[in-house]
Each structure stands twice: as C-alpha cells, then as structure tokens.
Amino acid sequence: MALISLTDVVKKYAAGKQEVTALDGISFDIGARKLTIVLGPSGSGKSTALNMLGGMDTPTSGTVRVTGKEVSRFSDKELTAYRRDQVGFVFQHYNLIPNLTAAENVGIGAQYAKDAMTPSQALESVGLSGRERSFPSELSGGQMQRVAIARAIAKRPQLLLCDEPTGALDSGTGRSVIELLRSIADTTETAVVVVTHNASIAQIGDATVTLHDGQVQAHVENQTPKSVEEIDW
Ligand code: ADP
C-alpha cells in the first residue's frame, strides 16, 4: 500500500482580485522506504505540493491520505501532531539557529517526539560524530545541511520532505547529501521526497513526479536507480 496518496489535489490562492491555481488536480502515490523526486521548473507547484504533503497547507479540493488517514480533513490539532511526529523537513538554506550548537539544533527537531534518537545518535547517522558542540558558523555548507537532516530524522519521521536540499551546495557536496538521503530511504522506514529542478537527481530516485503548470506531466517508476557516482550533475 502507498504510504501517501494525493488524489485530484487542487490549490488555489487569492492574489488580489485574481486567483492563482498553484495545483490543478494532481494525483500520485508515494511508497514507504522510497526516494521520490519531484521535478519541475520554478512556479510549477513543487513547494505547494510539498506543503500539502507536510500538512502545512490544505487543498482547496481533493484529498491527501497518509497511511489511509485523510490529512486534508485533519483539524488544526491533528495537523500539529502530524507535523510534529510524522514529518521531517529539510530546507535549501538549512535554517539552523546560529547561536545553538549542532546538538542543540538537532534536539529542537525531536523535543516533543516519542522514541526519538538522541542528538548524538542523529549526528552520527549523518556522519557528524564528534561535532555536537560545533556552532553552524564553524561548519561547511554540506555539514550544516547534514545537521539539518539529523534534526529532521531524529524523530524517526514517516516522511522526510526536502525542498531543494542541494540548491546551495557545490556539486561534490550536493552529491554526498543526495547519497545520504538515498541511504535514509534504503535503511529506515522513512519515505524521502526531494523537490528539485536538477533533472540529473531524478536518476537516483525510485520514482519521479514531474510537475508543469500545477499538473503532473509525468510519473515514472525507476526499477534500476543509478548510484550517485554514475550521474552527471
Ligand atoms: P515551485 O515550488 O515549483 O516554484 P510554487 O508551488 O511555489 O512553485 O508556486 C506555484 C504557483 O502558485 C506560482 O504561480 C506561485 O506564484 C503561486 N503561489 C504559491 N504560493 C502562493 C501564495 N501563498 N499566494 C499566491 N500565489 C501563490
């Protein structure tokens, strides 16, 4: 069974007197333990789709189901619990708190979650053992993104949503971050969704959803994902 199903999801925003249709009836499934890549040019609806998956926004019509439960009908209280317990979020610019250490930043992500990893465990799982006491300013961009990933996965979320996670990184560092996200999908129960405009990244995913003008232009399952070393960046 799919972990997540979007069915005919429409999202319209009021922009002054006009209405903008950010999502125009999208449907696709996301499997547990899969790496799903959402591709598309700027303005195609990627961030809006990610916000629907993460319970940060609700559809104008259509349904978002997670393990059979209809997130799109959750009350505010249920949405808060869903975001807190089941969703990890990784941003392009890391969004770490500059005056907190790596361990403290990671601790924030899991402070209300049951059965969370300790900050040290989470940092170890992203290859940053021993950096608990480092401040963001003492870390490279790739290391900061690893701290942000540790913060997102410490609560062992069902769903890890990543919005352009390599957008601010050079190609070598970006590759190693994508490799880490691939290994999270392979070795944990978490479904990983990566939004990007870099089509090369799609080759290492288990599935690619391509959006265009708020619609699903293509949805391709990839039986033989490539390794990160095999792709051009
Ligand atoms: P992408 O992430 O692919 O760049 P978005 O999901 O951010 O695309 O945006 C899709 C469309 O919806 C764009 O035309 C954008 O301007 C519009 N949009 C997104 N969020 C809002 C909002 N809060 N209010 C009005 N329009 C919005």
- Which two structure tokens, joined as six digits, stand for 101? 């250490």
Please tell me the predicted confidence (pLDDT) of residue 6.
96
Ordered alpha helix ranges (H), the chain: 46-53, 76-86, 102-109, 119-125, 141-153, 171-187
Mean pLDDT by 10 residues, the chain (233 residues): 91 93 97 95 95 94 93 93 94 96 94 90 97 98 97 96 95 94 95 94 95 97 91 85
Alpha-carbon Rg for the chain, nearest whole angstrom, is: 17
pLDDT, tens only, 166-207 = 999 999 999 999 999 999 999 999 999 999 989 999 999 999
Q: Minimal CA–CA distance to 165: which of 87, 94, 86, 97?
A: 94
Pair 40, 202: CB distance under 8 Å = no
Is the distance from the beta carbon of residue 46 to the nearest atom of ligand 1 less than 6 Å? yes
Second CATH level (architecture) for the domain 31-58+76-230: 3-Layer(aba) Sandwich (3.40)
Domain ranges in the chain?
Answer: 31-58+76-230
Ligand 1 center to residue 159 CA distance, Å?
22
Q: pLDDT at position 111, please?
A: 84
User: Using CA positions, which residue lies closest to atom 7 of ligand 1?
Assistant: 47
Contact 154, 110 (CB under 8 A): yes
pLDDT value at residue 113: 83
Is any ligand 1 atom within 6 A of the Cβ of residue 224? no
Contacts of residue 127, Cβ cutoff 8 Å, sequence gap at least 6: 146, 180
Select from 23, 24, 48 the residue to mutate for testing ligand 1; criterion: most ligand atoms less than 8 Å from CB.
Answer: 48
175, 104 contact by CB (below 8 A): no
Residue-wise pLDDT for 109-133, tens only, equals 888 888 899 999 999 999 999 999 9
Residue 148, classed as helix, strand or coil, is: helix
